[in-house]
Amino acid sequence: MQPVILAGGTGSRLWPLSRELYPKQVINLTGDLSLLQNTVLRLSHLNDVLDPIIVVGEEHRFLTKTQLEDLNAFSQFQILLEPCGKNTAPAICGAAAFVAKKGRGQDILLVLPADHLIQKEAPFTQAVQQAAVLAEEGKIVTFGIVPDHPETGYGYIARGEGTQVESFVEKPDLATAEQYLASGRYFWNSGMFAFTAETMLAEMEIHAPVILEQMTNAVQQGAPDGVFFRFNAQNMGACPSDSIDYVVMEKTDKACVVEADIGWSDIGSWKALWEVAEKDDQGNVSFGDVVLEDVKNSLVRAEHTLVATVGLEDTLVVETADAVLVAPMNRSQDVKKIVSRLKQEKRPEYHTHRTVYRPWGSYTTLELQPRFQIKRITVHPGARLSLQMHHHRHEHWVVVSGTAKIQNGEQSILLKENESTYIPSCTVHRLENPGVIPLELIEVQIGSYLGEDDIVRFDDEYGRVQQ
């Protein structure tokens, strides 16, 4: 069995914690591990499972790689990089074509979203085993979640004779959802699948030939880069954007459903997280430095500062370094509307946090004004930034802890704690951590333009394109 983990998407309903550059699958929402890490760890408990394939967007590749390496659940893994987001059908087709290219068309692909919660491990394993048997028979299996309440936020699967899928239905209203629950024939559509690579590719040829052609070419013309494999950008860019449900599952006669009572949630909103999280005696879910006074059935999360609440009920409050969200719990699905407005207004809060993760470490914006910016930079032991230059800004670096090896023009210097250097604009420079502990430094930028796109890269060991 070949696991394929779909790790695209941003989880906009979990803003302000989830951002485009730091999506929900890499966040620790339910414990000490991220949703992605828990998904990978779950696979390690299955029998006869190959090292996983993860499909992810180009900008999340290093964050994904780091989380997988930290987990150390598999000796190897493959990360397929999407140059652009095109929904689940191209992602799944590309993964199937990638496996088939290796001469493994008979492999069973177990397709799992990276951002789902599954609380019942044994029933999950049993459901996967049932799905594998059907997949070997040439079926395309979907996992139908046994509903425990009339949910209007999920699509449903209607089961026909045996394991056959009768139909897929869109998100219902409450009255219809209650009828579905009472009938016992309807399941929540989990977005998890099992099939052989050649079965899926054959069905794509019938129902979505353009996607099949473009993604097959995207694999044929793609380029390996260590654990990464890049789909060809031109082919994937020409590929239609569609869900696998729409282009295949709703049309194929090979669709089957396996009943799965596995403690599942897609954690698609703050309310969904509140429903599955551990609560206090008043029904509250809290995280971080939180003080609650006469608060009931609420979710309060503090990331960076004290959050105190009084007299709230059925309310969510989420604080990050640069944003605070307050909303009635029953309006949690509408958080995506805030994200859409931020994007329309070109505000950075929809895209990134003040802390931005890079393959070499991270930087945190401490202060940003029209002509200066202050950052805290953390560089992993043994890592180094690209050899670069800026046209419009000067930089002052002060080492707070660790050791910095710096190329500043023609000069190479070694700085320790409480030592500093100045880098004028148009000077080629590089920062490296030669030590065994993280390097922490403060960077003060001064200039007429301070955008991240004012970077001219001359050399970069991480393969990042010139900005």
C-alpha distances out from residue 169 to 166, 172, 177, 343, Å:
10, 8, 11, 31
Q: Is residue 408 part of a domain?
A: yes
Query: Are residue 184 and residue 76 in the same domain, yes or no?
Result: yes
Query: Are residue 249 and residue 151 in the same domain, yes or no?
Result: yes
Query: Are residue 165 and residue 236 in the same domain, yes or no?
Result: yes
Q: Is residue 340 part of a domain?
A: no
Number of domains in the chain: 3
CATH number at residue 382: 2.60.120.10
Helix/strand/coil percentages in the chain, nearest 5: 30, 35, 40
Q: Is residue 464 part of a domain?
A: no
Q: Is residue 193 part of a domain?
A: yes
CB 190 within 8 A of CB 128: no
pTM of the predicted model, to two decimals?
0.87
Q: Is residue 58 part of a domain?
A: yes
pLDDT tens by residue, 281-338? 999 999 999 999 999 999 999 999 999 999 999 999 999 999 999 999 999 999 999 9
pLDDT score recorded for residue 246:
92
| 3-class SS of residue 341 | helix
Q: In terms of residue numbers, what domain contains 445? A: 355-459
Query: Are residue 10 and residue 31 in the same domain, yes or no?
Result: yes
Query: Are residue 257 and residue 374 in the same domain, yes or no?
Result: no
Q: What is the mean pLDDT of each run of 10 residues along the chain (467 residues)?
A: 90 91 90 92 89 92 89 87 92 96 94 93 94 95 91 87 88 88 90 95 95 96 91 94 92 93 91 93 96 97 96 97 96 94 94 90 92 96 95 96 96 95 96 96 95 90 66
Query: Are residue 182 and residue 246 in the same domain, yes or no?
Result: yes
Q: Is residue 387 part of a domain?
A: yes
pLDDT score recorded for residue 467:
42
Q: Is residue 272 part of a domain?
A: no
CB 61 within 8 A of CB 79: yes
Q: Is residue 96 part of a domain?
A: yes
CATH number at residue 10: 3.90.550.10
Query: Are residue 10 and residue 67 in the same domain, yes or no?
Result: yes
C-alpha distances out from residue 62 to 47, 51, 92, 417, 462, Å:
28, 18, 21, 28, 9
